[in-house]
Amino acid sequence: MLKKKKTDVKKAGEDQALKRQDGDEQALTADGGQAPLLTHLLALRKVLFVSALAVVIAFFLIYYLAIDYLMAWIIGPIVERGIEIIYTAMSEALVTKFKVGIIAAVIVASPVIIGQIWGFIKPALYPKEKKAFRVLFFVALFLFLLGVTFCYLAVYLLAVDFFLVAGDQLATPMLSIDKYVSFLFGFIVPFGVAFQLPVALYLTTRMGWTNYQSLASKRKFVILGIFVLAAILTPPDVVSQLALGIPMILLYEIGVQVCRITKPRERE
């Protein structure tokens, strides 16, 4: 009987040890499963915090040091043509300054924002993908700046003259500062986005979602879709729609030729 009791006690002790070991292993498994997610969330929080802090600092610097010069440059094309800029609400001028300051702050802080985003996604990329991402990023940035510059220098000023001449005999122009700034950014930003078309076509071809033959065969439908998109993205006038639609067609043709020499990514 005594031996049997000792055996039972020993067996119970072993069972408890096994339970503790299983519990420790489950805890380690749980921690191991949560650790990567928690690490990513902490890294993402750091990205958002540093990016927001950079934008806030840039905003205060721009607002207190350069906002008047920036506003003078923005309304320059209208003032030079003898048009009066007004505001129709008590807070309109101040809110417009804030809006311009925030947009300028994001642009000024963009190197910090881009660096934070790059640091966040870099560990998940292979060496070849890192190199390709760098090249593609700078190409996309160049095309965006090219689109904005092209719009402002070659299209926007002509559109301003067109609108002023069209309404010259109808009414005396007195432009609201908020509506003018909204019109300006609503005019030039779609050009920057539209100039990303070759990059989008390259990415879809690399992913195997499309190819040169399909893009070339659907050209007439794409042209129709481009003009519909231009009508949505630009102010409601034919000049703006044509000014965006025609460059997009040219960019589409460039993208199609890029797709001709682009090979789909090999699936692992």
> For residue 25, what pLDDT is reported?
43
pLDDT tens digit sequence for 57-115: 999 999 999 899 999 988 888 888 888 888 888 888 899 999 999 988 988 888 888 88
- Residue 181 pairs in a beta bridge with none
- Which residues does the chain have with pLDDT short of 50? 2-6, 9, 17-34
> For residue 235, what pLDDT is reported?
63
CB 105 within 8 A of CB 55: yes
DSSP 167: T
Q: How many CB atoms lie within 10 A of CB 17?
A: 10
> For residue 26, what pLDDT is reported?
45
Spacing of C-alpha 139 from chain mean position: 14
Q: Which residues contact 152 (CB under 8 A, 6 or more apart)?
A: 188
pLDDT tens digit sequence for 119-130: 877 777 777 777
Q: Is 22 helix (H, G, I), strand (E, B) or coil?
A: helix
Helix (H) or strand (E) holding 175: strand 174-176
> For residue 234, what pLDDT is reported?
66
pTM of the predicted model, to two decimals? 0.69
> For residue 225, what pLDDT is reported?
86
Q: What angle do CA 263, 264, 268 make, to 5 degrees?
A: 130
